[in-house]
Amino acid sequence: GAVVSQHPSWVICKSGTSVKIECRSLDFQATTMFWYRQFPKQSLMLMATSNEGSKATYEQGVEKDKFLINHASLTLSTLTVTSAHPEDSSFYICSAARGPSVNQETQYFGPGTRLLVL
Amino acid sequence: SQQGEEDPQALSIQEGENATMNCSYKTSINNLQWYRQNSGRGLVHLILIRSNEREKHSGRLRVTLDTSKKSSSLLITASRAADTASYFCAPNSGYSTLTFGKGTMLLVSP
């Protein structure tokens, strides 16, 4: 159990367009979902935390108007990169946790979405 | 949340050898988790050790935790080429977010 999927796995888009990435928990309800970004040869950087039905909490330096997060249900969160630019090219990974904010223990990670903006 | 610091940054061994990587952190924790990331893929949760535990096993993995030294180690025994990956520790102080360091890149050669 505890499988998280992401769609698409790869996306190439033109500069200025918007891209939506979906993150789904397939066999459990995810109260909390997390979005990370990873540049080549670097670690994952947390972008935002989203709780079902409420606004996402963004990490410092992450533009909430550029990276729109919607956690509309207990099994789905979406990340929309608006007006993408080449510097947004990265590996975007989501994770999901069963529990609410404090003391949740394990996050289950999706396989990631590789975004290339031309 | 706090970030763990993995050491060494890179480790190269032969198949069949054991691989040991370490993690240090700064403040008290509820638990510490180890994750693996294969190249270009998401993270896979390996093992969680709670603050009141000193050692935990899972298959070929052995994790130790020394809260007095604020450190943990991950031992992979009888390594295989498929173990080639980056390994991250995530000390969890009870907050919702996990912060990851740069990890240890493990290369296991056939």
pLDDT mean over A13-17: 93
Checking if the pLDDT of A102 tops 50, the result is no
Q: Which residues of A touch B40 (CB under 8 A)?
A: 91, 112, 114
Contact list, A5 vs chain B (CB under 8 Å):
none
pLDDT at A98: 82
The average confidence (pLDDT) of chain B is: 91
Determine the Cα–Cα distance for residues A68 and A112; give it in Å rounded to an integer: 17
Looking at CA atoms only, how far is residue A86 from chain B in angstroms? 19
Q: Write the CB contacts of A102 (distance below 8 Å, at least 6 apart in sequence).
A: B94, B95, B96
- So what's the pLDDT on residue A83? 95
A110 CA: distance to closest CA in chain B (Å): 6
Chosen for mutation from B31, B96, B100, B102 (greatest number of chain A CBs closer than 10 Å) is B96
Residues B22-55 have pLDDT tens digits of: 999 998 888 899 999 988 788 888 999 999 999 9
pLDDT band at A1 (very low <50, low <70, confident <90, very high): low
Chain B hits for A39, CB-CB cut-off 8 Å, are none
| Closest by CA position to A21, among listed A87, A88, A113 | A113
> Least CA distance to A110: which residue of chain B?
B42
CB A74 within 8 A of CB A30: yes
Instruction: State residue B3's pLDDT score.
Output: 80
pLDDT tens-digit series, residues B70-91? 999 999 999 999 999 999 998 8
What is the Cα–Cα distance from B106 to B37, expressed in whole angstroms?
10
Q: Which residue of B has its CA nearest to A2?
A: B45
Between A34 and B101, where is the model more confident? A34
Answer whether residue A24 shows pLDDT above 70. yes
C-alpha span between B59 and B81 (Å, rounded): 16
Cβ distance of B40 and A112 shorter than 8 Å:
yes
Q: Residue A55's pLDDT is what?
A: 85
